[in-house]
A and B are shown apart, each in its own frame.
Chain A
Amino acid sequence: MREPFPRISRQQFFFIFAIANICLTPFGFPTLLYKELEQHAWISPLAAYVLTIWNLLVAISLARQFPDQNIVEWSRQILGKWIGGLFSICVIVILYFWGVSMIWAFMLLIMFTQLAHTPIYFTSLLLIGGVVYLLMQGLEGFARFAELVFLFLIAGFIAINAVQFTNADFNRLLPVGGFPLDNLIKPDVIASLFVFRGIFIVYFLFKYLNDKKRLLPLSIYSLSIAFVEILLATVLPIAIYGAQAASKFIYPYQESLSSVSIEWLPFEKLTFLTPMLWQIVIVYVLGSSLFCATEGLSSLFNIKNKKRLLIIIGVVTWLIVMYQVSYMQLSQMIMVWSIAGLLIFTLIPTLLWAGLSIRRLLKS
């Protein structure tokens, strides 16, 4: 009774999409923005949200034109074998690096938080091993995991945000006017437009959806959940500490949470919960990243044994994350990667979409 082709429901897609877009962004992301945009840092997620809706429109439109293929397969049809292949490799590398960079970010977070005695390499080994095992259960297994844990995660996000409102003073976001326009074109700020990179998994998940109707509104609802979380992660540290103080922290969101004392629980602070919450978020992110990389490579090189490929990718990932990077190195890498991601996932698909639309118009 094995199904010949894995299928995921719209509901499961919604859950994966929302958490993959939240990612670990609330931690590293705001710090750089506070330095450049101060109390106006919220503009950046807003701009990224608007740009991502456009990207979604393009992505879903392109995917609909090739409903049974992923981006690697259809890009080679449109762009030809070599240029399409090169574009596919860029797509795979960017989505793969997404997972790797988030593990690095997570390892730095472990070192930073009060669970510092934890051996970080074993943690990453266990995490990567767990995700590879999860993906070996098939896409449906991964989707069921995403569905099962989603409500727990949402409850966790509500808990860690709601408590911060007790100390928040939103007057610290004022004055609203007087944007530092010059700073808007700085690389850090431009890179932050790639913050909702989770949407690009649609290029690989689309063909597995059992119902492709009304996908754009569904994706926008899901994206909006991520947007609200990232906006809160940007705004709450400013509302609690002020923009200048918040810009001094490495992880302002974690610091703003530690400003809340929970006296009725047998724990010192609720901050210990957040790394565990992010550990589960990482499963979504790494799962999506490794899935896309496996799908992409198997399509590109016509590899039939996806499980073996997945294990190889998992081992390579673990070897990569053994190389420890500093916070600054990671920030630089993420900036370069984000700008490359914008080029590959915003500019090129938009051009492709425009080209295909014009060709269709001319034909008709």
Chain B
Amino acid sequence: MNIGEMGKIRNIWVDEMKGESFVSFFNKKNKKNNQNKANKSDSNANPVKPTIDLSEQTEKLPRSYEERLQLIEELIQTDDLKGIKLEEQGISCYFLTTIIDLKRFNDEIAPRLQEWVDFPEKWHILFPQAVLRDTTADTVTDLLEGHIVMNHRGLHGQAVTLSMLSIKSRAVEKPDNEKMILGPKESFTEDLETNIGLTRRWLKDPNMVFHYFQVGERSKTRVAVGFIRDITNPDWVHEIETNLKKINIDRIIGHKDVMDLIIGKTNTPFPLYELTELPARIVFDLSEGRIAILVDGSPFSAILPCPLLSMYIGSEYVMQGGIIPLFVRSIRVVAAFLALYAPAFYVALVSINSSIIPVETGVVLAADQLGIPYPTVIEALLLFIILDIFIEASTYVPGAIGPAMNIVGSLIIGQAASQAHLVSHVIIIVSAITAVGTYVTLYQLSMPIRIWKYPLIIAAAVLGLYGIIGCTVILIAHLCGLKSLGVPYLSPFAPLRWKDLLNGAIWDKDRSESKKRLSMFKAQDKVRQEGDPDA
């Protein structure tokens, strides 16, 4: 499907939406998707079905007023369901007290109910934003999504629903994970609409579109796929949307579930999608032809495709010229290398390949090793496992305890272990380099570095420098085999794309000269900048 066809579908969609609330329309669309999905894969065994499956509640609402009320109360047996019944007037309102704005209900709905008593067909004048429902599924779905369901004895087999959704959400705050020193300081929240709004503030392009999907038979989580229509490769959009439609799971919580299901089975610790909390970052990526996936309830956006190098671009982007960002990115790459290789090199040099060290250095290392009761590899493995425990502790323990544990771990235990000759002084220096180097890059990337250092240490302990090279071959082979949405993970180094490297992938040599988008993202509109902006 090309972008033109997708545009037509969008237009049809927009036309269909007129006169209906978004959520109700969305339910219909999703129901169609589900039906298509069911038709396509009726041979698939055991789709995930809740006990009350709304997609099966296709029958019309009962004509009798009392039966309608009874039906709602039977289907939604929760204590936060509130039913206000005006028995004499034959009017009732049902809503979930936990997700609606009660003040609005009191101010806007309650005073008009009396006027509605005698003129049931004038609901659209009294409640202009309301919609009329005639099926059980639509009515109950509306109720679960924060609508007031209003019944009138005079409306046979129909109910009026009006959105009053109100869930307390966090305000837009400073980013926690991606620190910006000279850049914008706003980050995403858990609210999908707010996040899309924040993105739209940065990019007022009519071609930037968001397609909504509902994922999770029980959770009904909303997922938005964002892209710029005339830039992004339509095949990628189609692939992601197709995969989203295929998802048939009970619940989705955050990005992990959605992305795991979109990407499919992977046997790699390396992130195949990038998570960011910065709206500005999304705009930067969308304008290169990448795709953003936002999930309701997640304060992040996933970005696809995700080559390794793109994760080394961060807040330094806003720095002047090309040299400073290049320097910062190079430092990050060096730090990652140090974090990965410093422990292994230490083990190799001390335990296997000590003959290549000059005598003076060898004497210093031997003196440092004196009295340690186990081989270097055990010493290294013990220390790095403990280091990882401290890192996890300082990351996940609440409040001020984390930094305190970090200090206890790094200073007190490190020093005590060294004084007790349980570990050498040099390995503490190496572990400090490793710990710092691990976190200079994106947080997502720190995990594979932490994991891969262990095989490298073991290979170095057994085979020395040959082991390190052998293990590196396997690591690079692994990375060479990875692709994110069809883009080789090591792009633009392998396959080598010089122009991309000099046009912003690692070095934005001259912004006035970088007129084309990065070719690795296969953008439809390849030109980023026409002519010379200085002219």
A binds B: yes
* Min CB gap B345→A, angstroms: 11
Task: Say if the beta carbon of B462 comes within 8 Å of chain A.
Answer: yes
**Could you tell me if A1 and B496 are in contact, using CB atoms closer than 8 angstroms?**
no
Task: Say if the beta carbon of A323 comes within 8 Å of chain B.
Answer: no
Task: Say if the beta carbon of B109 comes within 8 Å of chain A.
Answer: no
* Min CB gap B262→A, angstroms: 12
**Could you tell me if B480 and A137 are in contact, using CB atoms closer than 8 angstroms?**
yes
From A1, A110, A126, A283, contact of B239 by CB (8 A): A1
**Could you tell me if B496 and A123 are in contact, using CB atoms closer than 8 angstroms?**
no
From A144, A267, A269, A275, contact of B494 by CB (8 A): A144
Residues of A within 8 A of B471 (CB): 126
**Could you tell me if B477 and A272 are in contact, using CB atoms closer than 8 angstroms?**
no
Residues of A within 8 A of B239 (CB): 1
**Could you tell me if A118 and B466 are in contact, using CB atoms closer than 8 angstroms?**
yes
Task: Say if the beta carbon of A279 comes within 8 Å of chain B.
Answer: yes
A1 and B485 in contact (CB under 8 A), knowing A115-B466, A148-B490, A272-B465? yes
* Min CB gap B513→A, angstroms: 23
- Complex: A279 Cα to B236 Cα, angstroms: 39
For window 121-137 of A, CB contacts with B under 8 Å fall at 122-123, 126-127, 129-131, 133-134, 136-137
Task: Say if the beta carbon of A117 comes within 8 Å of chain B.
Answer: yes
Contact-residue bracket for chain A: 35 or more
**Could you tell me if B464 and A115 are in contact, using CB atoms closer than 8 angstroms?**
yes
From B462, B470, B495, contact of A12 by CB (8 A): B495
- Complex: A126 Cα to B465 Cα, angstroms: 12
- Complex: A272 Cα to B349 Cα, angstroms: 12
- Complex: A337 Cα to B256 Cα, angstroms: 55
Contact-residue bracket for chain B: 35 or more
Majority SS of interface residues in chain A? helix
**Could you tell me if B495 and A147 are in contact, using CB atoms closer than 8 angstroms?**
yes
- Complex: A127 Cα to B470 Cα, angstroms: 6
Quick one: closest A residue to B462, CB to CB?
A122
From B357, B488, B493, B496, contact of A267 by CB (8 A): B357
Task: Say if the beta carbon of B19 comes within 8 Å of chain A.
Answer: no
Majority SS of interface residues in chain B? helix
- Complex: A245 Cα to B271 Cα, angstroms: 55
* Min CB gap A361→B, angstroms: 41
- Complex: A269 Cα to B462 Cα, angstroms: 22
Task: Say if the beta carbon of A268 comes within 8 Å of chain B.
Answer: yes
**Could you tell me if B493 and A148 are in contact, using CB atoms closer than 8 angstroms?**
yes
Residues of A within 8 A of B486 (CB): 1
**Could you tell me if B476 and A149 are in contact, using CB atoms closer than 8 angstroms?**
yes
Residues of B within 8 A of A357 (CB): none
A137 and B466 in contact (CB under 8 A), knowing A117-B352, A126-B459? no
* Min CB gap A9→B, angstroms: 6
Residues of B within 8 A of A131 (CB): 473
Q: How many A-B residue pairs have CB under 8 A?
A: 116
**Could you tell me if A118 and B463 are in contact, using CB atoms closer than 8 angstroms?**
yes
A142 and B480 in contact (CB under 8 A), knowing A122-B463, A126-B471? yes
**Could you tell me if B466 and A276 are in contact, using CB atoms closer than 8 angstroms?**
yes
**Could you tell me if A118 and B496 are in contact, using CB atoms closer than 8 angstroms?**
no
A138 and B481 in contact (CB under 8 A), knowing A145-B494, A147-B495? yes
**Could you tell me if B480 and A133 are in contact, using CB atoms closer than 8 angstroms?**
no
Task: Say if the beta carbon of B356 comes within 8 Å of chain A.
Answer: yes
Task: Say if the beta carbon of A11 comes within 8 Å of chain B.
Answer: yes
- Complex: A88 Cα to B426 Cα, angstroms: 57
**Could you tell me if B494 and A118 are in contact, using CB atoms closer than 8 angstroms?**
no
A144 and B466 in contact (CB under 8 A), knowing A9-B495, A11-B496? no
**Could you tell me if A148 and B463 are in contact, using CB atoms closer than 8 angstroms?**
no
Task: Say if the beta carbon of A178 comes within 8 Å of chain B.
Answer: no
**Could you tell me if A267 and B356 are in contact, using CB atoms closer than 8 angstroms?**
yes
**Could you tell me if B477 and A133 are in contact, using CB atoms closer than 8 angstroms?**
yes
For window 245-301 of A, CB contacts with B under 8 Å fall at 266-269, 272, 275-276, 279-280, 283
Quick one: closest A residue to B356, CB to CB?
A272
From B356, B459, B467, B485, contact of A268 by CB (8 A): B356
- Complex: A268 Cα to B361 Cα, angstroms: 10
Residues of B within 8 A of A141 (CB): 477, 480-481
A148 and B476 in contact (CB under 8 A), knowing A126-B463, A266-B358? yes
From B463, B485, B488, contact of A123 by CB (8 A): B463
**Could you tell me if A279 and B480 are in contact, using CB atoms closer than 8 angstroms?**
no
Quick one: closest B residue to A129, CB to CB?
B474
Task: Say if the beta carbon of A80 comes within 8 Å of chain B.
Answer: no
* Min CB gap B1→A, angstroms: 14
Report A's interface with B, CB cutoff 8 A.
Answer: 1, 9, 11-12, 110, 114-115, 117-119, 122-123, 126-127, 129-131, 133-134, 136-138, 140-145, 147-149, 266-269, 272, 275-276, 279-280, 283
With A118-B352, A126-B466, A268-B358 given, name 5 new contacts (CB 8 A): A118-B467, A133-B478, A137-B481, A145-B476, A148-B480
| 30 A–B contacts, CB within 8 A, in A order | A1-B239, A1-B485, A11-B496, A115-B352, A117-B352, A117-B353, A118-B463, A122-B467, A123-B463, A126-B467, A130-B470, A130-B474, A133-B474, A133-B478, A138-B481, A142-B480, A144-B494, A145-B476, A145-B494, A147-B496, A148-B493, A148-B494, A266-B357, A266-B361, A267-B356, A267-B357, A268-B358, A276-B466, A279-B466, A279-B473
Report B's interface with A, CB cutoff 8 A.
Answer: 235-236, 239, 352-353, 355-358, 361, 459, 462-467, 469-471, 473-474, 476-478, 480-481, 485-486, 488, 490, 493-496
